[in-house]
Amino acid sequence: MTLCGNCVFGVLLCLCFGVLSMFTSVHGSFHVSGSVSLSLTGKWSLCNDNGSVCLPAEVPGCVHSALQRQGFIQDPYFRFNDVSYSWISFDNWTYTTTFTVSTQLRTKQKVLLVFDGVDTVASVWLNGVVIGKTDNMFRRYDFSVRDSLQDGSNVLKVSFMSPVVYASERRKAHSAYRVPPECPPDVQKGECHVNFIRKEQSSFSWDWGPSFPTMGLWKGVRLEAFDVLQLTHVSSVPLHDSSLSQWRVQVELLVDAVQTTNGQITLSIPELDSEQSFYTQFLPGQTKNSFTLHLNTSNQVKLWWPNGHGDQPFYQLTVRGLQDGFMILNTTSKVYFRTVELVQEPIVGSPGLSFYFRINGKPIFLKGSNWIPAHSFQDQVTPAVLRNLLQSAVDASMNALRVWGGGVYEQDLFYSICDEMGIMIWQDFMFACAMYPTEDDFIQTVNEEVVQQVQRLKSHPSIIIWSGNNENEAALATDWFNIPVSQRPIYLKDYVTLYVNNIRRIVQQEDHSRPFLISSPTNGAESEQESWVAANPYDPHYGDTHFYSYTLDCWDWRTFPRTRFASEYGFQSWPSFSTLQPVSIKEDWSYNSNFSSHRQHHQDGNEQMLQQAALHFLLPNSTDPLKRFTDTLYVTQVMQAECVKAQTEFYRRSQSEIVEGKGHTMGALYWQLNDIWQAPSWSSIEFGGKWKMLHYFAQNFFSAVLPVGFKDDDTLFIYAVSDLSYNLTLRAVVSVYSWSDLDPVCTLKSDLLLVRGGSAATVFKQPVAALLAGCGHCTHLTCLLTFHLEDSTGAQQGPTNHHFLCSPKDTQGLQRPNITAKVQQDQTGYSVTLHSASVAPFVWLDVGNIPGRFSSNGFLMVSRNRTVSFTAWRPTSVVELSRSLTVTSLRDVY
């Protein structure tokens, strides 16, 4: 949690601590005077409705966190506690604090009680009087309290209504027609009617997460007092005029003024030798005041680039206020310069429209994943958790994440880190997989939510697009909710009312610097032509697509849609045993246990994982129950890693070609990056930060230069994929190995070919039969291929990849490798040297609950020796690592 919700985008002077001087009028003259602020975060008391449970509680925080911290409940994530503790969300809870205020604060002309985040439905009482109500988790609320404050002690109470009961009551009041879905599927063990409350939609359960409908003051609370004027927020959005090749910075000051106030505002970016002053008048009440700084054109502006395409430089913008020569306002914030365009235009040889992003005029292939809330209890998402997850994204060569629309608008720090790291953000608004009501009060609170969030976030260069919702166009178009044809116009009207007439309108008023899409998936411009809901939002000729198939063979690239942009796709796996162990007991450690079933919130998910794995792998058959369980966890991770690798490589090699009218794929964001708890899911990073095999694979399949191999009609093709901004001359080097021998049977090299930057090109093509015929006694069953790219100097470019000519379960000659491992330490850190007696696929190193990551993992070992490094995230030792280390390969599980 950031301490001050208003200190956005590097503003150095945080108003919540009262250090910013403000315009003040005394007898018609102006001089320097400070606003006064009192933080109300820290220890409060918390009681349930009938007073039977009372305890101390931290603010920011939530009821569940407080109950756990005080020992009233166990870890809510332990075993079946998500169901056992459902009573918490059905009760009403009241937070109370007592505070005293100084005479200086009380005598100010205006005193505001500010809540940066209230989750969710509450009445606010000050000294026994209701001063306001809240109904939206995603809004900042302020209430005028000058006349309600008293000498001595003041008692502030925030009384929360059960979000589950509230949602149900709102549903009952909406009697004219249903607003589906009524309830989540039974397998999710969740609560109903979450679409009737402006709250994290996944808090009532999702197919990867538990039902914990939280209540609490989840962000900061404070008093702010001033005589004339208060600065609420500063935003700065650089805009580029391409016709003049000139930059300008649009600066907005959100101001709350007691009375009309005159002053001079000066904007400057000293490093760019740019400064402008404006005489202005702030009107009474809360107003938005816009100023434009035109940059001195003689200076070359350094641009912000996505990860892998350049650096992320920034400039300091200073905003100063002067009155009669007095400095009365002085704030500094970061400004990053970049342009973004979403290009939707005709493609030669293909019906439909392109769909790709140009950053600073350069087409960029988006590589990354989808972000979900990192914890059910937002107060437990620490800066360290955010930085670790986002660093892990960058370390896997990602340049983009989609902040998914069923969670929360992330905290300021999340976006600031993305700015620093060059992670582009596709930002959904918080509406997902549902229809929504459109009563006036619902629309009104949503409008305020959208205004506030766009104002809060638009200064961040990392955000490259706003999107109105997750999958709601698709839900309507493909009739997820069995809506009768006669009623369909009602829902279409509601859809347009919410997302077009309100959200889109507001976003386009508030932010001129980035594109807006109504939904994801969508046909984009084509959906707009079809009155905002396309006949088929999954059409691969337009927009973005979401695609899931658990029964088709994921090794067969023909099963994947050759889409313009893949914004969701994926496969489930189980997390490591070390991640599950703290929230389970011995009787849970079997794939068929009640616990394993309870943790799976996707219908038939556990069976689907094994069915997909069984297409290519022999399933674990150990007679030791624990080994069989851990081996099964491993096999699900192997399956997931290979499936997502196959699909991602298909999308990356499709960026430069049109096949049967489809292609020019320019984005691959798999579902999903992170986990909300310890359970099976589509994530590549486990709860707690441990990398699954998939995340190690992503390091390779998202690398800037990548060889991709596949078979088509028994011909082997190898593509060179390059994200670089310059051309390379490359050849493919193919090594053929026997499953039974660590020495290559033969090696082939293709001719050198020009591979343009930002493209995918064929560099090798040969019938597999001919390739094998020239390689001793190899067959599809006895041999496998590895391949890499090298340039004209013989230097390898990008990672080494592999292609299995048959399913590993059908191989002939695959033996137990009997891998030995030695852990060592030197000045650079820890390393593990492996020795293998034979070819070993999917070699997996695991050090249990020692947090950290290996330089490489899950790899194919075709050498006798290999050394990998280990980066520990806490102090450890050679002895501890050696004791904890296990090494598993595919042949070790059956």
Q: Which of 568, 642, 649, 790 is catalytic?
A: 568
pLDDT at 435: 98
For 646-657, letters b (16+ CB in 10 Å) and e give: bbbbbbbbbbbb
**Is pLDDT of 34 > 90?**
no
Of 735, 699, 703, 736, the closest CA to residue 720 belongs to 703
Backbone angles phi, psi at 453, to 5 degrees: -70, -40
pLDDT at 324: 75
For 321-336, letters b (16+ CB in 10 Å) and e give: bbbeebebbebebbbb
**Could you tell me the pLDDT band of residue 25, with boundaries at 50, 70 and 90?**
very low
Render 376-443 in DSSP notation, one character per residue: SSGGG--HHHHHHHHHHHHHTT--EEEE-TTS-PPPHHHHHHHHHHT-EEEEE-S-BSS-----HHHH
pLDDT at 7: 32
| pLDDT above 70: percentage of residues in the chain | 96
DSSP 730: E
- Rg (Cα) of the chain, in Å, rounded? 29
Across-strand partners of 287? 255
pLDDT at 330: 87
3-state secondary structure of 247: strand
pLDDT, one tens digit per residue, over 351-396 is 999 999 999 999 999 999 999 999 999 999 999 999 999 999 999 9
Q: Which of 471, 473, 510, 642 is catalytic?
A: 471
> Distance between CA atoms of 373 and 202, rounded to whole angstroms?
9
In this prediction the pTM is: 0.95
**Could you tell me the pLDDT band of residue 594, with boundaries at 50, 70 and 90?**
very high
pLDDT, one tens digit per residue, over 223-275 is 999 998 888 999 999 999 988 889 999 999 999 999 888 899 999 999 999 99
Backbone angles phi, psi at 801, to 5 degrees: -115, 175
Residue 319 or 30, more confident? 319
How distant, in Å, are the alpha carbons of 306, 478, 705, 755, 849 from that of 726? 16, 43, 11, 9, 43
Give the mean pLDDT of the chain: 94
What is the helix (H) or strand (E) element at residue 847, kind and residue range? none
**Is pLDDT of 709 > 50?**
yes
**Could you tell me the pLDDT band of residue 22, with boundaries at 50, 70 and 90?**
very low
pLDDT at 774: 86
Rounded to 5 degrees, what angle do the CA atoms 659, 660, 663 make?
A: 45
Of 568, 560, 759, the closest CA to residue 655 belongs to 759
> Distance between CA atoms of 37 and 105, rounded to whole angstroms?
8
300: burial class by Cβ within 10 Å (0-12, 13-18, 19+)?
A: exposed
3-state secondary structure of 577: helix
Q: Is 568 a catalytic residue?
A: yes
| Polymer length in residues for the chain | 894
Six-digit token string for 809: 């379960």
pLDDT, one tens digit per residue, over 6-17 is 333 332 223 232
83: burial class by Cβ within 10 Å (0-12, 13-18, 19+)?
A: exposed
**Is pLDDT of 583 > 80?**
yes
Residue 326 or 110, more confident? 110
**Is pLDDT of 699 > 50?**
yes
> What mean pLDDT is predicted for residues 48-57?
97
pLDDT at 463: 98
What is the helix (H) or strand (E) element at residue 793, kind and residue range? none
Q: Is 224 a catalytic residue?
A: no
pLDDT, one tens digit per residue, over 121-157 is 999 999 999 999 999 999 999 999 999 999 999 999 9
**Is pLDDT of 298 > 80?**
no
pLDDT at 421: 98
* Cα 41 versus chain centre, distance: 28
Low-confidence winner among 7-21, 120-134, 486-500, 541-555 (lowest mean pLDDT): 7-21
